[in-house]
Amino acid sequence: MKPKGRPKKCRIVKFTPLISQFSPRGKAGRPDETCLNLDELEAVRLADLSGFKQKECAEQMHVSQQTFSRILKKARKEIATAIVRGHAIKIHGGKYQIQIPKQNPVPDQK
């Protein structure tokens, strides 16, 4: 059976995380996991960390503004769920293409 709808467009990611999993401390046993796709992490990085407007973020990821908004909303929900429920956040997967920029995309922390 064919999947319904249009196939997902490949998203451009300009950042690969050094750490692919975050785990809560202070919770006994092995915590449940919440998965965050790499394109969702890129959306959070562009919108929340770098402070770009959604239109600029969408252009950088080569998707429409509506698609970017959907990606960002899903990512924020996954992160909030993990924090509130004490889940580990595992970063992997998604439909993306890595495009390494000439400069460091993460602003220096002061």
Q: What is the pLDDT of residues 7-52, one digit of tens each?
A: 777 788 888 888 889 888 876 677 789 999 999 999 999 999 999 9
Q: Is 100 exposed, middle or buried (0-12, 13-18, 19+ CB in 10 A)?
A: exposed
Secondary structure (3-state) at 30? coil
Q: What is the mean pLDDT of the chain?
A: 85
Q: What was the pLDDT predicted at 103? A: 58
Contact 13, 38 (CB under 8 A): yes
Prediction pTM value: 0.79
Instruction: Work out the number of other CB atoms within 10 angstroms of the CB of residue 23.
Output: 14
- pLDDT bin (cut points 50, 70, 90) of residue 108 is low
CA distance 83 to 60: 28
pLDDT at 106: 58
Residue 101 is predicted with a pLDDT of 63
Report the DSSP pairing between strands 21-22 and 96-98. unpaired
Domain ranges, ordered by start, for the chain = 33-98
Q: In what order do the strands lie in the sheet with 88-91?
A: 21-22, 88-91, 33-36
33-98: CATH topology is Arc Repressor Mutant, subunit A (1.10.10)
